[in-house]
Each structure stands twice: as structure tokens, then as C-alpha cells.
Amino acid sequence: MSFVADILQAARARGGEPLLIEVHGTELQAHSGAQFVEAVAQVRGYLAERGIKASDRVALLAPNSARWAAVDVAIMASGAVCVPLYARQDPRQLAAMLRDAAPSLLIASDAALATAMAQAWPEACPIARYDEVFAAQPLRDPTPSAVGAAPVTIIYTSGTSGEAKGAVLTGDNIEFMLDVTVLRIAQMSKGQRSEDRVFHYLPFCFAGSRIMLLSQLRRGNPLLLSTNLDNLQEELRTAQPHYFLNVPVLLERIRKGVETRLSGMGRPLAALHQRAFAAYRVGENQSSGMRDRMWLMLAQKLLFPRVKQLIGPNLEFLVCGSARLSEETQRWFQMIGLPVYQVYGLTETTGIVTIDDTRHVQSGRVGYAVPGCEIKCTSDGELVCRGPNVFPGYWNRPGATADMIRDGWLYTGDQAEIDDQGSVRIVGRLKDVVVPESGHNVAPAPIEEKLVLCGAGIDQAVVVGHGRPYLTAIVTGQLSDAEAHAALERVNAELPHYQRLRKLYKAPEAFTIESGLLTANQKLRRAVIEAHYQAAIEEMYR
């Protein structure tokens, strides 16, 4: 059987029990396994009515919901290729992806999204909304054909040029990865329960997020879905999960929020927290003294249980991926008794290359290669990998595929270190793509071009923010503070939320070949510029 058949079998086994549970503020809206199977049958019926054939592309534009999961599984069960899109992305950028994918059908969740895409993409393929898709006569085929090496999804990801490329993933890619993740989830949760309470807020259109969804569906384990990212704190209180998948920015916010709250609860508690953390750091690297052990024991008894209750009464661990997690933040969660297990990967590796081993977690490292995947570092420190998780290539881009995969090895673009035990530490990006803590891949060149062309007197610009909570830029030219502020507002108005710049730093002089900040052919030496202005950059993130 294929993973699609496994998912439907697990859903049937759930029967009337909840499988997907939408969190709406303080309310839970459950969708049973039987309802999920029926919803998949309705979507398959609609696809059949529209004449969708095997290998046709079907695009999906919608926020997370139980219906999103049903549409995704139905498209794959029909032998078609699902092209998931980010519902909050600029419609003009989405239109470029759709022109490239050339889908036979676009399914949008509501009239607003459908209208926006029809306007941005005048030559659009047929666009259907959820209300008509889920009104179709169900097509009940209990045994979808095996997918194997055939493509099942195309996920668009931005490269260094800023041009979105469609990463093709096959049934074999996803089958392999689900075998890995289902076993690793069981290891992380220690098999203590028949069911885990798992909360999910990251968009399903991204590879790692999609793998989490499909893993839980294959396990037949209920998944609690966020429906409003602006209300995430209340949703977490309602969901009370045992664990959930994160990007670093949320964990940083949780830590800072707790520390701010502790500082407002009186000096003794704040001082106890600071001394315990200092003692914990010492204990990680060397034998701690009696005083350090005393502070840590006191905090473990009086403080950390209160902190854990504040974050989530049922939380046992957290999973984090998409971008680099601060070593200090991972250490802080470990200290209070909430281990953070890191996952590292790319869309092109079916979302995952390495996963933390729960028995050997090291702060600042992203774990070990998943079984069946080989990794090594090239002479310049670039991490490369090969295995069943590596995608076959980009949609309609043989040149880009050849650049990415050479002699069977996928070149990640990340500089890494691998220790004697195989544990990986990601040092930084060798390529120009900036990945802030939100986990979005951001190509800096188009944003830099907008800054230079916005008419504010900016001559040069370098976007920074890799592994940071937001994006900033260093600019040169003759411009006042007011002009810099106006430039920021003007450029941000044209960008999606995750590409917007928070601050600008005006460099005192231009980047030149003589100063070492430009190459001989006038290209920006990004790493050198960032190192040169390190103090200014740190000031922008205080």
C-alpha cells in the first residue's frame, strides 16, 4: 500500500473518533476519521467531474484546516500532483508560480482568495472554491493506486535569484520520510500514551509542516489545528498539547515573555532565574561548584515547575526546525525541563536531513542524519547529502537541478560541521538566501533593488537577518533619517509580511573594492560587510 492508502485506512479505523480538531479560540471543532474519509471522497468526486487525470497539477490555496488536509490527500489519491500555495503571499508572486506549474485546476478556500488570484492571473485555469468542491458527489475508492516514483507534489521555494522554483517530491520521497518521522515521533513521546495531543500552527504548504500533518494522519493520531495565528496564545491554552512543531521565532518569544513576566514578579524570582541559568551554563561545560548546584536545585524546586505551567501544563517537549535556533534558547528550555529537539532540512530533501536523537541532544546542534541518508562536508564546508529523501529535481528547470544535485549528492548551500559521532552544527549559509527565525526563505537581491530604486537617495543596500527575528538592512548614500524612514515604509508596502524590513542602518561610507566590501566585479561581499558592521547590526536587534 502507499502512504495515501495507509492514511485513509488509519482514518477509517478512527471511525467517529476525532482525527483533525480545529482550535477556534476557546472552542474545539472536531472532525472525525469517518468525516475525513467522506471529505476526501467528495474532493475526489469533484476532481473526477472536472476531468482531472493522473499527473495533472492541482493547486491548493488556503489556510490550514481539516478541509485543507482532505483536499491534499484527495489530490494525491487521485494520482494528480498537489501544488500547495501560501495563502498570505502576494497574489502577484503566486501568479508567477502558477504560470510555471500550469495547473489544470486551482482550489481556493474562499471567494476572497479566488477573486485575488483571478485578478493577479487573468489567464487563470479554472478556479474552484471549497463550497462547490465539498458539495460534489463522493467518489469512494478504498484502494488508491500506489504512487511510487511518480510526482505527488510540487512545493515552490525561493532561491538566491528570488525566482521561485518548484521542488518536485515523489511518492517514494514522502513514503521514506513518513517511515522515519513516525518512528522518531514515537521515540520522542516515549510511547507513553495511545494518543498524543499534538498542536500545529505552521502553514501546511511548507515541506516540514506537511510532513508533520501526514505523519500524524498516518499514525491515526489526532492533530489540533490553529485557525488564527493572531490568537496563538489562547489557542495553545485551549489545545494543551504534549508537543508541537515550531520555528525559532516563537520559542524566542516564549522565553523572552517568561523572562519579562519573571522580572515583574519581584527581584527574588528574577534573581533566582538569572543565577540558575548561569549555573546551568557552567554545569554543561564543566563540573559546577556547590553554590551553582544550590541555585539550580532551588530553581528546580521553586521556579521551573511554575514556568512550565505557564508555558503549557501538558507540554513534554518541543520540536524546532526551518531556521537556526539560538543555542542559548535551546539551553534555556532544556534547563526548565522542556527539551527542544531540532530538525534540519530543505524542501528539496523532503523537509528533513537530520533529527535530534533524544538520547544525545546537544544545544546548538541539529542532530544526526536520518537512517538511510548520507551526509558529509565538502572542502569548503558545505553540507551535502544523498538518500531516498532527495528530490528528483525542480519543475521545468534542468539547469537549476544540475546545480543542486551533482554526482548524486545534493548541495544544501549551508556551511556545517560534523563531529566524530555524526552530530551536525549549522554554521551559516554559503548561498545568499536569508532565512530569518520565521523560517521563510528570503532572497535579498530583489529587496535590495527596491531600496536602491525607491528614490530616497540610497546607493547600495545589503539585507541582513539570517537566523534573526526580523530583517534589517545596511544602506549607503546621502539620505536623512526622515528619508530613510520613508524609504522603509515605501518598500515594505510592496512586500509580503515576512520580507518586510524593521530597521535601516546608514553606513558612513560607500562599499568599495578598496575597502574590501566589494569584489573585483563590483559584487557585494555579504559576509565581509556583515562582519565589518557587526556592532551596528547587533544594535538593530537590541
The per-residue pLDDT for 234 is 94
Q: pLDDT tens for residues 306-338? A: 889 889 999 999 999 987 788 888 999 999 999
Q: Which of 490, 507, 506, 495 is nearest to 471 (CA)?
A: 495
Do residue 311 and residue 262 come from a single domain? yes
Percent of the chain with pLDDT over 90: 66
Asked, for residue 174, whether it belongs to a domain, the answer is no
Do residue 474 and residue 511 come from a single domain? yes
Is residue 362 a contact partner of residue 376, using CB atoms and an 8 Å limit? no
Dihedral over alpha carbons 346, 352, 353, 357 (to 10 degrees): 140
Please tell me the total count of domains within the chain: 3
Is residue 530 a contact partner of residue 540, using CB atoms and an 8 Å limit? no
Asked, for residue 21, whether it belongs to a domain, the answer is no
Q: Answer with the residue of higher pLDDT: 369 or 279.
A: 369
Contacting residues for 242 by C-beta, under 8 A, at least 6 apart: 189, 193, 196, 197, 198, 314, 315, 316, 317
Which CATH number fits the domain that encloses residue 468?
A: 3.30.300.30
Q: Over 60: is that where the pLDDT of 521 sits?
A: no
CA 27 to chain centre: 26
Asked, for residue 33, whether it belongs to a domain, the answer is yes
Q: Which of 406, 429, 452 is the last residue of a domain?
A: 429
Q: Mean pLDDT over residues 463-469, rounded?
A: 93
Do residue 208 and residue 352 come from a single domain? no
Do residue 298 and residue 394 come from a single domain? yes
The per-residue pLDDT for 3 is 94
Q: Which of 183, 205, 233 is the last residue of a domain?
A: 233
Q: 117 vs 52, 62, 95, CA distance in Å?
A: 20, 12, 7
Residue 12 CA to residue 22 CA, distance in Å, equals 19
Is residue 284 a contact partner of residue 363, using CB atoms and an 8 Å limit? yes
Is residue 94 a contact partner of residue 61, using CB atoms and an 8 Å limit? yes
Q: pLDDT tens for residues 167-189? A: 999 999 999 999 999 999 988 98
The per-residue pLDDT for 522 is 65
Q: Which of 233, 261, 288 is the last residue of a domain?
A: 233
Q: Can you state the angle between helices 481-492 and 444-453, rounded to 10 degrees? A: 130
The per-residue pLDDT for 462 is 94
Is residue 44 a contact partner of residue 77, using CB atoms and an 8 Å limit? yes
Q: pLDDT tens for residues 417-460? A: 999 999 999 887 777 778 898 888 888 888 988 898 887 889 89
Asked, for residue 341, whether it belongs to a domain, the answer is yes
Range(s) of the domain holding residue 528: 444-540
The per-residue pLDDT for 294 is 85
Handedness of CA 415, 212, 91, 72 (dihedral sign): positive
Do residue 277 and residue 351 come from a single domain? yes
The chain-wide mean pLDDT, for the chain, equals: 91
For the beta sheet containing 501-506, the strands, ordered from the edge strand earlier in sequence to the opposite edge, are 458-464, 471-477, 501-506
Identify the band that residue 263 occupies on the pLDDT scale cut at 50, 70 and 90.
confident
Asked, for residue 88, whether it belongs to a domain, the answer is yes
Is residue 223 a contact partner of residue 11, using CB atoms and an 8 Å limit? no
DSSP string over 374-405: EEEE-TT-EEEEESTTS--EETT-HHHHHHHE
Q: Which of 54, 64, 74 is nearest to 11 (CA)?
A: 74
Residue 251 CA to residue 421 CA, distance in Å, equals 27
Do residue 61 and residue 35 come from a single domain? yes
For residue 523, the SS3 value is coil
Do residue 254 and residue 353 come from a single domain? yes
Contacting residues for 237 by C-beta, under 8 A, at least 6 apart: 26
Do residue 463 and residue 488 come from a single domain? yes
Residue 125 CA to residue 99 CA, distance in Å, equals 9
Do residue 38 and residue 104 come from a single domain? yes
Q: 356 vs 155, 293, 363, CA distance in Å?
A: 25, 27, 10
Residue 31 CA to residue 26 CA, distance in Å, equals 17
Asked, for residue 220, whether it belongs to a domain, the answer is yes
- Counting every residue written for the chain, the total comes to 542
Residue 85 CA to residue 88 CA, distance in Å, equals 9
Do residue 227 and residue 260 come from a single domain? no
The count of other CB atoms within 10 Å of the CB of residue 243 is: 22
Asked, for residue 290, whether it belongs to a domain, the answer is yes
The per-residue pLDDT for 270 is 82
Q: pLDDT tens for residues 191-218? A: 777 899 999 999 999 999 999 999 999 9
Contacting residues for 344 by C-beta, under 8 A, at least 6 apart: 321, 352, 353, 354, 355, 366, 367, 424, 426
Do residue 405 and residue 534 come from a single domain? no
Q: Over 90: is that where the pLDDT of 415 sits?
A: no
Asked, for residue 155, whether it belongs to a domain, the answer is no
Q: Answer with the residue of higher pLDDT: 1 or 302.
A: 302
Q: 205-219, 253-267, 296-310, 522-536 — which is least confidently predicted?
A: 253-267
Which CATH number fits the domain that encloses residue 278?
A: 3.40.50.12780
Q: Over 70: is that where the pLDDT of 412 sits?
A: yes
Do residue 469 and residue 401 come from a single domain? no
Q: pLDDT tens for residues 118-144? A: 999 999 899 999 999 999 999 987 666
Contacting residues for 322 by C-beta, under 8 A, at least 6 apart: 202, 206, 208, 247, 248, 435, 438, 439
DSSP string over 366-377: --EEPTT-EEEE
The per-residue pLDDT for 160 is 37
DSSP H/E element including 363: none
Q: Write the DSSP symbol of residue 324.
A: P
